[in-house]
A and B are shown apart, each in its own frame.
Chain A
Amino acid sequence: MTEAVTNTGGDWLRLIVGLILVLIFSQLNALFLVWLERKVAGHIQLRYGPMEVGPHGLLQTIVDGIKLVGKELITPFKADKKLFVIAPVLVFMPVLVPFLVLPFGPELIIRDMNVGLLLIFAFSTFSVLAILVGGWASNNKYALLGAIRSVAQNVAYEIPLLLSVMSVVLMVHSFKFSELVMAQQRIWFIFLQPVAAIIYFICATAETNRAPFDIPEAESELVAGFHTEYSGMRFGLFFLAEYTNMFIVCAVATSLFLGGWHGPFGFSLGIPGVVWFLAKTYFLLFVLMWFRWTFPRVRFDQLMNFSWKVLIPLSMLNLLVTALVLKFV
């Protein structure tokens, strides 16, 4: 494909084909990730995980999804009806927009916007709002506590996340994903910015409310946190959004720190870029699931202190050192 096709402003065909592919991909991805999560959990605990439906339980999540659609949508008597209905819509609404700018391959960017990275961060913050609205509207103690914790956690980890990404932006001078990835043709940024990469990944884990930072939905104390009262497909939308968000944060990590569609040190080994990209992204997703069964859940004060007292000063320091080094190089 030529440069003209990649970057023209009015390429509607690309947009529509991309949209259809993204819709299919995001659903398949969520189905696959839920299956993978259960398999990884099973094998780490020396179990098999789902085995019955399909080969190695591969079709289990499809069956679960169909079952979920058939479930009753419960709205508790005292819940704030409007907000209660809006929350799952609000959480799922922004999850497909980041796919517009994610660089799956050299020619596989639907729209290579010059604010690509900012667009992703702007839309990913929606989910906090949705969690707050959902938890508040449920009229349930556990849901409210989960929502409050979630907001405090998400805002605390957003700052080091943005600061760590900024040190990469500083090196490339651009938010454009194609340029961010092209700059890593020779050497991946994880080798030049190891501190930023680690901070980013910790914060991404916290932002997606994954263990060990799954305090908003700590099942041993808060039942299911903010989505305690949700049932049927309303719960399903929270679930879908969570797994799509996991993919997005890992895809961003791949394109910012692991070279995107590039192979290691400029060797592509004849493997197409999109395969490299997806392989690295799914590896990171596997690591996220690995975390869950390796680290115990942190306490809330530890969580907040770790962000404000360690991650934020460290990421600021990393940014300043990056700026200083760039001035002298």
Chain B
Amino acid sequence: MTAVYIPALIYLAVTMGVMAVILFLSARIGRRRVTREKMLPYECGMDPLGTLEIHFPIKFYVVAMIFIIFDIETVFLYPWAVVFRDLGWFGFVEMLLFTAVILIGLVYLFRKGALEWE
């Protein structure tokens, strides 16, 4: 059964090989001269200011968490979509309830302001 996916692995392997060749060629042909300015982080030509320990908004974490919930929803919906015809009305109502729960969650998120970017 898993033999079906072997072609995908072969493609991955070949792509890796091609990339190895490209990067090897590039490393060999390209010249290499290390200077301090070149190896500094690029900040429009100036010496970099401060450190990289920047704070990014907590919203990004919230988005990641919400994403997981919705992604799992879609994962559940995909098998349902394929066998939809065989499930009949039972399958339809079940999925309606499932989607309704998720949608209520989405409305709750709106109300809480979890998706507000200021």
Which one of B8, B25, B78, B117 contacts A100 once the chains associate, using CB atoms below 8 Å?
B8
**Do the beta carbons of B42 and A229 come within 8 Å of each other?**
yes
Q: Nearest-CB distance from A94 to chain B (Å)?
A: 7
B16-49: which have CB < 8 Å to A? 16, 18-19, 22-23, 25-27, 29-33, 38-44, 48
Bound together, the chains give a CA A320 to CA B103 distance in angstroms of 12
Q: Are B42's CB and A173's CB within 8 A?
A: no
- Residues of chain B within 8 A of A159, CB atoms compared: 67, 70-71, 74
Q: How far is the CB of A295 from chain B (nearest CB, A)?
A: 20
Min CB gap B25→A, angstroms: 6
- CB of A192 within 8 Å of the partner chain: no
Which partner residue on chain A sits nearest B14 by CB separation? A19
Contact B44 A223 (CB under 8 A): yes
Task: Give min CB distance, A120 to chain B, whole Å.
Answer: 11
Asked if B83 and A141 sit within 8 Å, CB to CB, the answer is: no
Q: Which of A163, A229, A313, A319 contacts B41 (CB 8 A)?
A: A229
Q: Is the CB of A111 within 8 A of B15?
A: no
Number of interface residues of A (CB under 8 A): 77
What chain B residues lie within 8 Å of A152 (beta carbons)? 60, 63-64
With contacts A69-B30, A76-B40, A304-B63 taken as known, whether A166 is within 8 angstroms of B117 at the C-beta atoms is: no
Query: How far apart sit A232 and B22, CA to CA, in the bound complex (Å)?
Result: 11
A233 touches B39 (CB 8 A): no
CA distance A138 to B77 in the complex (A): 38
Q: Is the CB of B4 within 8 A of A309?
A: no
Report the Cα distance A234→B77, complex, angstroms. 38
Choice from A68, A99, A155, A232 contacting B63 with Cβ under 8 Å = A155
Q: B residues 64-118 with Cβ under 8 Å of A? A: 64, 66-67, 70-71, 74, 77-78, 81-85, 89, 92, 95-96, 99, 102-103, 106, 109-110, 115, 117-118
Residues B82 and A237 in contact, CB atoms below 8 Å apart: no
Partner of A95, one of B7, B15, B66, B78: B15
**Which residues in window 262-287 of A have CB below 8 A to B?**
none
Task: Given A96-B14, A223-B42, check contact A155 B67 (CB 8 Å).
Answer: yes
Interchain CA distance A321-B26 in the complex, whole Å:
53
Across-interface contacts of B85 in A (CB, < 8 A): 173, 326
Is A111's CB under 8 angstroms from B7's CB? yes
| B103 surroundings in chain A (CB, below 8 A) | 313, 316
Determine whether A73 belongs to the interface, using a CB cutoff of 8 Å to chain B.
Answer: yes
A3 to chain B, nearest CB (A): 18
A168 CA to B11 CA in the complex, in Å?
A: 28
Kindly list chain A residues whose C-beta atoms are within 8 Å of the C-beta of B81: 166, 169-170, 173
Do B22 and A69 touch across chains, with their CB atoms under 8 A apart?
A: yes
A89 in contact (CB, < 8 A)? yes
The answer to whether A237 and B19 touch (CB under 8 A), given A23-B14, A174-B82, A323-B92, is yes
Chain B residues in the interface with A (C-beta under 8 A): 3-5, 7-8, 10-12, 14-16, 18-19, 22-23, 25-27, 29-33, 38-44, 48, 52, 54, 56, 60, 63-64, 66-67, 70-71, 74, 77-78, 81-85, 89, 92, 95-96, 99, 102-103, 106, 109-110, 115, 117-118
Sample 19 A-B pairs with CB under 8 A, ordered by A number.
Answer: A69-B29, A72-B33, A73-B23, A88-B19, A92-B19, A94-B15, A100-B7, A113-B5, A156-B63, A163-B77, A166-B74, A166-B77, A232-B26, A301-B118, A304-B115, A323-B84, A323-B95, A324-B92, A326-B84
What 9 A-B pairs have minimum CB-CB distances, sorted nearest first? A301-B117, A233-B26, A155-B67, A140-B41, A77-B39, A162-B74, A169-B81, A170-B81, A72-B30
